[in-house]
Amino acid sequence: MDWKELTNLTRGQPFVVERVRLAGNGVAIEGEFELPQLAQLNVEDQVFVTAFVRSHGSIKEMERIFGVSYPTIKSRLNRIGQQLDFVETDPAPSQADVVARLRRGELTAQQALSELEGRS
């Protein structure tokens, strides 16, 4: 079964993968694994995201590929974006980093405390 069949079979319902087998060596791992966010999108949205990435984010190219208008592309991107959690790309500094910057005089004690309190 390929990913399109699996996605169609589940009809948008959330599901959990309970067994993973590594093809190269046959090792199987059992547990409860959640699919990555992009794999949880329906087939049409997965195709749309793939086309968007392949077109380097060009909305003009997406208009040409799908034969629809700019507002339609933007609306679909917004709808898909609402289904995806934001991935933090600027993680909070570690405690060691904050202390090192404090020692070098790059931060005041108050700034260091604020950064340390802001960590989760």
Q: What is the pLDDT of residues 67-110, one digit of tens each?
A: 999 999 999 999 999 999 887 676 778 889 999 999 999 999 99
Q: Dump the DSSP string for 67-103.
A: T--HHHHHHHHHHHHHHSPPPPSSPPPPHHHHHHHHH
Output the pLDDT for position 13. Answer: 77
Counting every residue written for the chain, the total comes to: 120
Per-residue confidence band for 64, with pLDDT thresholds at 50, 70 and 90: very high
DSSP 114: H
pLDDT at 120 over 60: no
Q: Which amino acid, 96?
A: A
Q: Which residues contact 65 (CB under 8 A, 6 or more apart)?
A: 51, 55
Q: Does 15 or 49 have the greater pLDDT score?
A: 49
Mean pLDDT of the chain, nearest integer: 87
